[in-house]
């Protein structure tokens, strides 16, 4: 090995060390870029309709495969979450309502460090089922059987005139 080569290796190491140091673990969370979900994934339609039976199965699967990081309640505080440099997503976050099914499906399938990819580990139907289950964590599933309960905001007492009759169908 000649001297020039050694210098290059040394310089490279110094460079790598500096970059690693500047991306300290504290700033990891903020530096996390939004996921780049491909357009074709966003257009995918969920072929699995949420059903009581299906959701129960998906819940079981979630407890087995996801709860270690995302927590049994989906809040992202599972037992394995503490050791991770990136916090597992909070599936109870109402912001997830803005996300389309295809996007959630794609994220489960592809994963992103430290979240593993479930491609090949779970069937597509299982992943779509998990999307439906995650929906119940931040939103009630909109099945035709589902009777919509009027949401009562505990902070703001509903005015007397606004009481909804049970069984009133929503716009959905």
Largest CA distance in the chain: 87
User: Residue 106 is inside which H or E element, if any?
Assistant: helix 101-110
Give the binding range for ligand HEC (CB under 6 A) out of 9-17, 38-46, 112-120, 154-162.
Answer: 112-120
Structure tokens at 72: 């049994």
CB of 46 to ligand HEC, least distance (A): 13
- Taking CB under 6 A as the criterion, the residue among 44, 57, 110, 115 binding ligand HEC is 115
Q: 68, 61 in Cβ contact below 8 A?
A: no
- DSSP class of residue 79? T
Among 49, 60, 112, 119, binds ligand HEC (CB under 6 A): 112
Tell me which stretch binds ligand HEC (CB under 6 A): 40-48, 49-57, 114-122, 150-158: 114-122
* Residues 143, 104, 109: CA angle, nearest 5 degrees: 120
Tally Cβ neighbours within 10 Å of residue 51. Answer: 15
Spatial separation of the C-alpha atoms in residues 118 and 22, rounded to whole Å: 31
54/88 with CB nearer ligand HEC: 88
Minimum CB–partner distance for residue 47 and ligand HEC (Å):
17
Binding mask 49-88 for ligand HEC (x = CB under 6 A): ----------------xx-xxx---------x---x-x-x
Distance between CA 42 and CA 98 in Å, rounded?
12
Contact positions vs ligand HEC (CB under 6 A): 32, 65-66, 68-70, 80, 84, 86, 88-89, 99, 104, 107-108, 112, 114-116, 118, 130
């Amino acid at each position: 090995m000649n001297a020039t080569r050694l210098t290059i290796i040394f310089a490279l190491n110094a460079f790598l060390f500096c970059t690693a140091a500047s991306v300290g673990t504290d700033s990891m969370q903020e530096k996390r870029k939004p996921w780049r979900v491909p357009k074709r994934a966003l257009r995918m339609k969920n072929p699995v309709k949420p059903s009581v039976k299906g959701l129960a199965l998906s819940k079981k699967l979630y407890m087995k495969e996801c709860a270690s990081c995302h927590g049994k309640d989906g809040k992202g505080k599972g037992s394995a979450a503490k050791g991770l440099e990136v916090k597992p997503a909070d599936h109870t976050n109402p912001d997830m309502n803005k996300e389309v099914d295809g996007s959630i499906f794609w994220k489960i399938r592809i994963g992103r460090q430290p979240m593993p990819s479930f491609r090949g580990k779970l069937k597509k139907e299982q992943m779509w089922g998990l999307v439906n289950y995650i929906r119940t964590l931040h939103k009630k599933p909109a099945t035709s059987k589902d009777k919509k309960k009027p949401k009562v905001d505990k902070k703001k007492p509903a005015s007397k005139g606004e009481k909804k009759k049970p069984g009133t169908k929503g716009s959905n």
